[in-house]
Amino acid sequence: DAGVTQSPTHLIKTRGQQVTLRCSPKSGHDTVSWYQQALGQGPQFIFQYYEEEERQRGNFPDRFSGHQFPNYSSELNVNALLLGDSALYLCASSPGTGRNNEQFFGPGTRLTVL
Amino acid sequence: AQSVTQLGSHVSVSEGALVLLRCNYSSSVPPYLFWYVQYPNQGLQLLLKYTSAATLVKGINGFEAEFKKSETSFHLTKPSAHMSDAAEYFCAVRSNDYKLSFGAGTTVTVRA
């Protein structure tokens, strides 16, 4: 079992650009959540996808959008990048949305905005 | 609403000494509580979780945590620190089916 995988590992962009991050969930998992972890802080919830729909969204602007594919993999898109978007972006998968279902985290994508 | 406060952003312990990491939560419904560990340049790994069963929860690597409703706390302990315990630790609360809300984290260093 490969666990949760994310690509790319690292990414450097400039202000105003757009970026797409990818996540493949753990085998058997159908729910994907995205978190942003700024340096020295705890992860902050961006949104969760289940059955190809956004189920809940955290306090993030519309520049952050996502998608879930029929195979349960997911993408996070960020438009009009700001310096403050520099962070580690974590994807977590779980077998359903119930709060008893453990979220398994991937290694993250380190985004640097210059 | 749900939130977590971790007391102490850095903890330094001697190898073999007790590790105590403090976490207080706020939740409008009975919470599920979690402790995660993050090693440098890695994702989060679940140490243990409380889901309304036994109040003393045992996790991996010798860690355990006790849920105290009256104190709204979920402190993490390990009787004897090992060098490999050096990492960042996050407490998290989950009050609904969706998001985890994390504390700011506590960095643990272990002195030889």
3-state secondary structure B63-75: CEEEEECCCCEEE
**pLDDT value of residue B50:** 92
**pLDDT value of residue B22:** 97
Query: How many residues in chain A?
Result: 114
**pLDDT value of residue B97:** 67
**pLDDT value of residue A101:** 81
Strand ranges (E), chain A = 5-7, 10-13, 19-24, 31-37, 44-50, 53-57, 64-68, 74-78, 87-94, 104-105, 109-113
- What average pLDDT does range A13-39 have in this prediction? 96
Report which of residues A99 and B48 the model is more confident about. B48
The string of pLDDT tens digits covering residues A51-89 is: 999 999 999 999 999 999 999 999 999 999 999 999 999
CA–CA dist A32, A24 (Å, integer): 9
**Residues of chain B found within 8 Å of residue A92, distances taken between Cβ atoms:** 44, 100
**DSSP output for A18-32:** -EEEEEEPPTT--EE
A97 touching B, CB under 8 A? yes
Q: Amino acid letter at B17?
A: A
**pLDDT value of residue A1:** 67
**Residues of chain A found within 8 Å of residue B32, distances taken between Cβ atoms:** 99-100
> Which of A41, A56, A102, A103 is the best mutation test for B, with the most CBs of B within 10 A?
A103
pLDDT one digit per residue (tens) for chain B, 112 residues: 789 999 999 999 999 999 999 999 998 888 899 999 999 888 899 999 998 878 999 999 999 999 999 999 999 999 999 999 999 999 999 877 678 999 999 999 999 9
Task: Indicate whether A36 pLDDT > 90.
Answer: yes
Percent of chain A beyond pLDDT 90?
89
CA–CA dist A29, B30 (Å, integer): 26
Query: CA of B64 to nearest chain A CA: how many angstroms apart?
Result: 18
Structure tokens at B83: 């060098």
Cβ(B36)–Cβ(B95) below 8 Å: no
B62 touching A, CB under 8 A? no
**pLDDT value of residue A24:** 97
A3 touching B, CB under 8 A? no
**Residues of chain A found within 8 Å of residue B10, distances taken between Cβ atoms:** none
Residue A16 C-beta-side C-alpha neighbours within 13 Å: 0
CA–CA dist A98, B25 (Å, integer): 20
Mean residue pLDDT across chain A: 94
């020295």: which residue's tokens?
Answer: A40
Query: CA of B78 to nearest chain A CA: how many angstroms apart?
Result: 22
Query: How many residues in chain B?
Result: 112
Structure tokens at B13: 């312990």
**Residues of chain A found within 8 Å of residue B45, distances taken between Cβ atoms:** 105
Measured at the alpha carbon of residue A13, what is the angle toward residues A53 and A112, in degrees to the nearest 5? Answer: 85
Cβ(A7)–Cβ(A108) below 8 Å: no
Cβ(B15)–Cβ(B112) below 8 Å: yes
